[in-house]
Structures are given as structure tokens and as C-alpha cells.
Structure 1
Amino acid sequence: MKESGLSFLRAELAQKPTNAQRLFLLYYNGILVDLVVLNLFAEYSGKVVISSFAVSLCAAVLLQLLLKLTIAVEHRVAAFFKQRRGGLAKFLRYFCAWLVLFGSKFAILEAINFVFASDVRFLGAWHGVLTLIVVVVVMLLAEEAVVRFYRRLRSRDQPSAGD
């Protein structure tokens, strides 16, 4: 079999990634997905205004970091209440998780306003908070879709029990 000039593209030559590389790819993927979603909203919606691509890239990085921080805080709060017993603890676990996830959008919007001033604006109900929530939900759904696609590629390459 003749060796082509593109032999480096063969999957069997790929090395198993380290945990640091996996973490890098997780954030890299998240930032790129956020960047695409943010720019699609900026292009096709009148409620997201971004002054340039470079600003949208920086905003995507900031959003990714703040969203990961929000999820980490939510998990810690949930873990705190999960250790307690009873109906009130269960109610507080879900209520506080919702409070962190919902309330964080106000903090994220303020962080974006502080860092980018008028270069990034979310317009609409509640001074843009509703628009930000929609954008963040779409970002999270898009990230999840990419992760699920990635996982399906793994199961596709696994030999079946009958092989």
C-alpha cells in the first residue's frame, strides 16, 4: 500500500490525550461554541450588539469562564444541601441551585458591561437579562450537542461484542 503525504491524518496515529489536554479541549470547544453562538445572535438578532469579532472572542472567553464558575458554585451549593436530610433541605437544594443559576446571569451581564462597556450589549427585557439568558441557554445546548456528537464518535469506533 502506497504511503500518502497526508499520513498524519490517520486516526490510529493519534496519541491518547492527557487530562490537561482534555481540560484544554473542553474549554477550547466551549469557547468556540460560545463564539459561534454569540456571533450568530449578533448577526441575526437585533438584541445582541457586538462591535467586532475580536471583542466577541474576548466576550466568549469571559462567558465561558463565568459559566463554568457558575456551574461550580451551583454544584457546591447543591452538595451542601444534599448532605442534609428532610424535605426542607431538598427544597432548599433545588431553590438555591435555581437562585445561583438565575442570579448569576445578572452578575454575568454586569461583568460584561464592566469589561466591554458599549462594545457588547444585550438589549431587551430586564435591561437585556432575558436576551442573555436565551443566548446562554443556546450556548449550553450547542455545547452539549457537540459533546454528545464527540461521544458518539467514540462508541462508533469501539468494536462490538460479536467482532
Structure 2
Amino acid sequence: MTATNDSLMPATVEAPSDRQRTFARYFTGMLIDLLVLGLFDEYWDKVHVASFTVMVLASVLLQILLKVTIAIEHVVAKFFKARPGGFMKFMRFFGAWLVLFGSKFVILEALSLAFGDQVHFSGVFHGIITLIVVVVVMLLVEEIIVRFYRRLGAKSDGSAAA
């Protein structure tokens, strides 16, 4: 007897609400951050996290700060995009870079204030380069997971599911 997906699902399935989708998105992001931070802690001597509990809490804080950073970057980009001219286009990219780069200092300080020596990034420029590497890997892994997830929903004829 072969089981199909339909036989494994309940008779009625409610579509998730926007709040449920938002929760799933941030929860998944936090788990990805936890995974990446844990792997860096284990395999790179420039990243130190005192315990698993601290790592979970740091992952939650990182997820919040990264999403706030991206939201601020979008506001800055939208501000300059609404204005015509080459200088405004330059300012859009410069503003985005400034927010994204500057946020790493804020993130490093927030981690330091929240966890003290329990979360530590060492290396060039007091660990800022190490933090940038960790954050970039977190964002890349999140993007890879999102793309994989979207491909799972693609129809067999190659078009994306709605």
C-alpha cells in the first residue's frame, strides 16, 4: 500500500495567516543564525560563544538586529530612489552601504552589552571583520534556504506556484 501526500494530510487544511508566516520566517531565520553561529564557534577560533543558551539568545538578538538593519536600509534606499538625478542614485547606494556597514558596529556593541565576554569576535579591527564574515554567511545561508524553499513550490512545468 502506497501513501500519497493527500492521505497524510488532514481533511481540511487552513492556509497560514500572515502572523503565522511572519513567525515561521523569523523563527527559521533565527535557527539559521543559530546554526551558522554554532558552526563558526566550533570551527573558527575567532568566534567564541560561552554556551548553547547564550548562542540561542545571541541568535535571536542577531535576527532582530539584522531585520531592523535591512528595514532601515530599505527606507534609506526608498528616500533617495524617489528623487531624480545621478547624485541621488549614488546616494542611494552609498546610503545603503553606510547603513549595512555601520550596522555591524551597532550589532557588535549590542552583543557586547547583552552578553559581555560570553559572545566574542576577535581579529582585525576588534573583531568587526570577523562579525562581518559571520553575518554575511548568515545572510547567504538564509538566501539559499529561501531559494530552495521556493523551488519546492515550483510546478513541474517550471512555473512558480502562486
Same fold by TM-score, threshold 0.5 exceeded?
yes
How many residues are matched?
Answer: 156
Q: Distance in 1 between matches of 2:144 and 2:105?
A: 26
Provide the residue aligned with 1:128 in structure 2: 127
Q: Which amino acid aligns with 2:143?
A: E
Provide the residue aligned with 2:67 in structure 1: 68
Q: Distance in 2 between matches of 1:49 and 1:159?
A: 45
Identity across aligned pairs (percent)? 56
Q: Distance in 2 between matches of 1:54 and 1:91?
A: 43
- Map residues 53-132 of structure 1 onto 2, 5 A cutoff: 53-132=52-131
Q: Which amino acid aligns with 1:42?
A: D
Q: CA RMSD in A?
A: 2.1
CA drift of 1:160 comes to 3.6
Q: Distance in 1 between matches of 2:73 and 2:15?
A: 32
CA gap 1:45/1:2 in 2 versus in 1, 3 angstroms: closer
Q: Distance in 2 between matches of 1:8 and 1:58?
A: 39
Q: Distance in 1 between matches of 2:110 and 2:149?
A: 31
Q: Distance in 2 between matches of 1:25 and 1:136?
A: 20
Provide the residue aligned with 2:23 in structure 1: 24
CA drift of 1:15 comes to 3.4
Q: Which amino acid aligns with 2:66?
A: L
Q: Structure 2 regions of 5+ residues with no counterpart? A: none
TM-score by length of 2: 0.90
Provide the residue aligned with 2:34 in structure 1: 35
TM-score by length of 1: 0.89
CA gap 1:12/1:147 in 2 versus in 1, 3 angstroms: farther
Q: Structure 1 regions of 5+ residues with no counterpart? A: none
SS in 2 for 1:16: coil
Of 76-85 and 8-17, the range deviating more from structure 2: 8-17
Asked if 1:47 is matched to 2:46, the reply is: yes
Q: Which amino acid aligns with 2:115?
A: F
Q: Which amino acid aligns with 2:33?
A: D
Q: Distance in 2 between matches of 1:83 and 1:30?
A: 30
